[in-house]
Amino acid sequence: MGRRGNPRHAEPFCRSELLTDDCRAIARNDVVFNYMNQAINFFWTILGFAPVVAVWATRYSVPWLCVSVLLSVPGLLLPSRVFQLSRDPKFYERLGIRFIQKFVQGGRYASRYMRKLDPGYRMVKNKATALQYQSTLLMYERFHLMCFIFFVLTAAYAFSVSLYPLALIVILANLIYNICPILLQQYNRARILKLVK
- 146 in a domain, yes or no? yes
The larger pLDDT score, comparing residue 159 to residue 131, is at 159
- Domain residues for the domain of 179 are 7-196
CB atoms within 10 A of CB 76: 12
Answer yes or no: is 66 within a domain. Answer: yes
| pLDDT surpassing 90 at residue 122 | no
State the sign of the Cα–Cα–Cα–Cα dihedral 137, 143, 148, 149: positive
Residue 132 has pLDDT above 80, yes or no: no
User: Is residue 87 in a domain?
Assistant: yes
Q: Is the residue at 15 inside a domain?
A: yes
pLDDT value of residue 3: 39
Q: Does residue 1 lie in a domain region?
A: no
2 is a domain residue = no
Number of independent structural domains in the chain: 1
Residue 80 domain-assigned (yes or no): yes
**Structure pTM?**
0.78
Residue 121 has pLDDT above 50, yes or no: yes
Taking residues 45-50, report their average pLDDT: 96
pLDDT exceeds 60 at position 15: no
Q: Model confidence over 58-91: pLDDT tens digits?
A: 998 999 999 999 999 998 887 767 778 898 999 9
29 C-beta neighbours (distance < 10 Å), count: 19
Q: Where are the alpha helices (DSSP H) in the chain?
A: 11-14, 21-58, 62-72, 89-94, 97-101, 108-117, 127-160, 164-174, 180-196
Cα angle 32-124-106, degrees, rounded to a multiple of 5: 40
What tens digit of pLDDT does each residue of 102-116 get? 888 777 777 776 767
